[in-house]
Amino acid sequence: MSGFGYNVNGFGSFTSRTVIVPVTYAVQAGGGTGANAYPGGAGGGGGLLTATVTDTYVAGVAYTVTVGAGGSGYGAGGVSSRGNSGSNSTFDLIASSGGGGGAYGGNEPPANGGCGGSSGFRGGSGGSGISGQGFGGGVGGNVGEPSNASGGGGGGGTASVGANWQSGQAGNGGTGTAISASGLSRKYGEGGGGGGYLNSIGYGGGVNSGGGGGNGGDPNGAAQAGGTNTGGGGGGAFGTGGAGGSGIILLIYPTSVTATFSSGVTSSSSTHSGNTVTQITAAGSSDTVTFG
C-alpha cells in the first residue's frame, strides 16, 4: 500500500523452523498368562524395545502411545487350557509384542510372543521369542506322571529354564532386562515360573529376583500374576494360572521440553540430571504424546 508519500512493501514469506526433540525410550509390552492345570507352563514376559541411541522427534507432532495389557483368562479348552498372550505396546513406529501364553500340556503348544510361553507337562517345544525383544519359553517335564509333572519357565529378557523331570522341579522364568537410567532401576519383561506337582514349583524371573515374573503354583494354591507395569509373565499352575502383567512406556527427554498427553493417558514424571523421566502406565490405541 502507499501513504504519506512512500510505499510499504511486503516482507515476503516466513520459513518455519523445525524443532527437534531428543528422546530416549523403553517400550514394554504386556506379559502372557500362565496355563491352567495339568500342571501348566508359564506365560512369557512381554517384549521390550529400547533406544540404543537417543532418537529424535519433531515438536508439535502427535505420536501414538499405547500400553499393552497383560494376558487374562484362557483360551478354549475348559479347565485345562492355554493362557492368553499379552497385548502390544507402541510409541510412534516402535512396537513391542506381547508375551506368549503358557501351555497346559504337550498336546497344545504354548504361544509365541515378544518372549515365548513355556510348554506344560508332557514336554513339547516352548514358544519362541522375537529377536531383539526377548527369548523363547522353556520345556515342561515329559515323564513321571504325576509326581514329576511340571511346567517349564516362561521366556524373558534372558533364556528361561526347562523343567527337570528327574526331580520334578518346574522351570524358572527367564530374568528380565534391567533398566537403570535417570533415577530408574528395575527389571522388565520377566518370564513366569512353571507350575509343579506338590511343592516343586518354578519361580518367576530367575528365582525370586524381585522383578515382575509370577511364581508358579502347586495344588495348594493359584500361581502368581506378573507384576503390574512390568510386563512380567504369569506363573503356570496345577490349578489356576497367573495373569500377565501390564506393560509400560518410559520416555526420557530434556527438562526444557514439555510433553502433552491426550486424555486417556495415565503418566507420572520426575526430573534427574537435566532430564524429565515420564512413566506411561496406561494409554489406549488412540492416545498420543506431543512434545513442545
**pLDDT digits 0-9 by tens, 69-83:** 999 866 544 456 789
Instruction: Yes or no: say if 155 and 139 are a contact pair by the CB < 8 Å rule.
Output: no
Q: Pull the grid cell for residue 61.
A: 507432532
Residue 69 three-state SS:
coil
Q: What is the pLDDT of residue 10?
A: 44
pLDDT of residue 169: 78
Please tell me the number of Cα atoms within 13 Å of 96 on its side-chain side: 39
59: burial class by Cβ within 10 Å (0-12, 13-18, 19+)? middle
Strand partners, 261: 289
Q: What is the CA radius of gyration of the chain?
A: 23
Q: What is the pLDDT of residues 99-149, one digit of tens each?
A: 999 988 766 789 999 999 998 877 778 899 999 999 999 888 866 555 566
In the numeric block, which cell numbers belong to residue 30?
Answer: 504386556
Q: Are 162 and 138 in contact (CB under 8 A)?
A: yes
pLDDT of residue 95: 97
Query: Which residues is 272 bridged to in the sheet?
Result: 275
3-state secondary structure at position 204: helix
Q: Quick check: 68 and 114 in contact, CB under 8 A? A: no
What is this structure's pTM?
Answer: 0.89
Residue 81: per-residue pLDDT? 78
Sorted by sequence, the CB contacts under 8 Å of residue 265 that are 6+ apart come out as: 65, 280, 282, 283, 287, 289
pLDDT at 5: 36
Single-letter amino acid, residue 74: Y
Residue 3: how many CB atoms within 10 A of its CB? 7
Find out whether 97 and 88 touch, Cβ atoms under 8 Å. yes
- Phi, psi of 284, deg, nearest 5: -90, 180
Judge whether residue 61 has pLDDT over 90: yes
pLDDT by residue (tens digit) across 194-243? 888 765 778 887 554 555 788 888 776 788 899 999 999 999 887 788 99
pLDDT of residue 6: 33
pLDDT digits (tens, 9 = 90+) for 251-268: 999 999 999 999 999 999
**pLDDT at residue 173 is higher than 60:** yes
Asked whether 104 and 122 are in contact (CB, 8 A), the reply is: no
